[in-house]
Structure 1
């Protein structure tokens, strides 16, 4: 390798360590373009694509990812295909995304240009990992997207948001003995139209609160008790953590995801089923869709 290319490689590594993704992306793409056929060419294109993924520069990540994927063997679980699938999904380029998942080695995906929507199992998502890192449950609808099934409480996310998430698990949650991976959010792929509300309700028995949960769960709405949120240390969040569902009692702040008229109607129905022991306070807006 030429001396100037060795210096360029060192520059790329230094930029990478510093988190200077723009410079790292330029350097590794330059290295790959200057040294076609080099044993490191695929890795350089991969690093260039990954740097632009970190920048959320999806058109560049897609273009560079195609170059990286062209140099590796399909069906072998090569991460170049996974990152290409992420970039293509971010851009809603379904033909490229589908082919990337097929080339990665995922069964059950057909070529085509239609949106990839399916059921890929339960998943946990770490929302806004750079700040709050709130972990919620979701339904995975493709290898890199999940629908939020909790009502987030610590960050500006909503029940029903579709989240573009990373492909390497960063922790796990264990529910009823079954491990579920935690993936870090990359970005909000599609924003939910449902507002988030907070309301104080009071009822003496767990059965009362269970009835409220069932009322909201019967539609496409969300409900959480504020007490359901557990504050844990970062180390535990990124490790393996056993979880269990608890039903609150007494007076609790509930977080709701539903249109205002639906939320008020369901709360009134719940209260009127046992008015002698159930009370409902005033709805407070937490997060409303943009006008």
Structure 2
């Protein structure tokens, strides 16, 4: 080959490299802007041209993850693992999340084991005790934060009665992200806050908004102590629900003008709000009516004003929302 031909080949290589670098830059810009469809398309084009680069598979898998396309995300992360000489924890975690979302329990168990996580023995869904944490429901929308009991590294059961507008229920099993976006108080300790990715299993405990009047906290305590068939949980929303700003929903500590702290209630010894808004998780309205009849008959000053039950759909994320970042994060993990 002549010197002129060598120069042409080098020029072509430089032009190709420049084109690939520009396309990769566009792919990252699209991802960072929340344009996940464009990002997956661009990373896909790059993979066709340079299929042996593991990070391109990882990034397309990350975009598929936030699109909640679990089979595609799993395939991308498995390919990212195959192309690497050493264990890559990020690829393994995202493969585990995607396998869990897809219901591929054998692969999910394999990935968590590779990450050094001890699991209960057996096959199928993992039913362990991974502690208490918080989950942000619909992080692309209202971002209501509730407590959950973790069944495995990224699956958990909701342990509060969420507001009806969230579309979630007490007892729902949700898939959450693997990276914490903050912390919240739970008793005397801090627990991580995770973004919910989607609901995997709906509870049969529908949410009933119940409006009552009573004379003191002992009346609510008596109601919560009642156990009747079909009742899952009674929660005093007047005490527990805060309308949180974005920083609060991510668990980032800061002060409001009227901030009393997460563990303090709105009621104190000097002031009791007699009008209470309750969230009751129950299998049906009849169970709630029976519960309230027992409660009102057992104490003076207890008044049932209304029982409401409305279903709301789960909202989906919209293009352009970068909902997966914590308040102080700059890059996805």
Residue in 1 that maps onto 2:294: 269
**Given the alignment of the two structures, is residue 84 of structure 1 paired with residue 109 of structure 2, yes or no?**
no
Q: Match for 2:213 among 202, 207, 214?
A: 202
- CA deviations 1:173-201 (Å, max 9, x no partner) are 11232001110111111122222112222
SS of corresponding position for 1:235:
helix
**Given the alignment of the two structures, is residue 26 of structure 1 paired with residue 41 of structure 2, yes or no?**
yes
Residue in 2 that maps onto 1:253: 277
Residue in 2 that maps onto 1:9: 24
8 Å Cα contact 1:98/1:109 also seen in 2: no
Residue in 2 that maps onto 1:212: 223
**Given the alignment of the two structures, is residue 56 of structure 1 paired with residue 71 of structure 2, yes or no?**
no
SS of corresponding position for 1:221:
strand
Residue in 2 that maps onto 1:67: 79
8 Å Cα contact 1:152/1:158 also seen in 2: yes
Q: Match for 1:163 among 171, 174, 192?
A: 174
TM-score normalised over the length of structure 1 = 0.87
1:281, CA displacement in angstroms? 2.8
8 Å Cα contact 1:206/1:249 also seen in 2: no
1:22, CA displacement in angstroms? 2.3
1:27, CA displacement in angstroms? 2.8
The number of aligned residues is: 282
Residue in 2 that maps onto 1:224: 235
Residue 216 to residue 179, structure 1, CA distance change in 2 (3 Å): farther
| Divergent runs of 4+, >4 A | 216-220, 245-249
Give distance in 2, aligned partners of 1:178 and 1:243: 12
1:229, CA displacement in angstroms? 0.9
Give distance in 2, aligned partners of 1:237 and 1:288: 21
8 Å Cα contact 1:194/1:288 also seen in 2: no
- CA deviations 1:197-245 (Å, max 9, x no partner) are 1222222121111111122599761222231211222123223455226
Higher share of residues assigned strand: 1
Residue in 1 that maps onto 2:325: none
Give distance in 1, aligned partners of 2:208 and 2:34: 38
Flag the structure with larger Rg: 2
SS of corresponding position for 2:208:
strand
Give distance in 2, aligned partners of 1:229 and 1:49: 36
Unmatched runs of 5 consecutive residues or more in structure 2: 1-12, 254-260, 314-333
TM-score normalised over the length of structure 2 = 0.77
Residue in 1 that maps onto 2:56: 44
Residue 216 to residue 223, structure 1, CA distance change in 2 (3 Å): farther
Residue 216 to residue 33, structure 1, CA distance change in 2 (3 Å): farther
8 Å Cα contact 1:158/1:195 also seen in 2: yes
With 121-130 and 148-157 compared, the bigger mean Cα shift is at 148-157
With 234-243 and 85-94 compared, the bigger mean Cα shift is at 234-243
SS of corresponding position for 1:282:
strand
Q: Match for 1:243 among 262, 265, 268?
A: 262
Q: CA RMSD in A?
A: 2.5
SS of corresponding position for 2:59:
helix
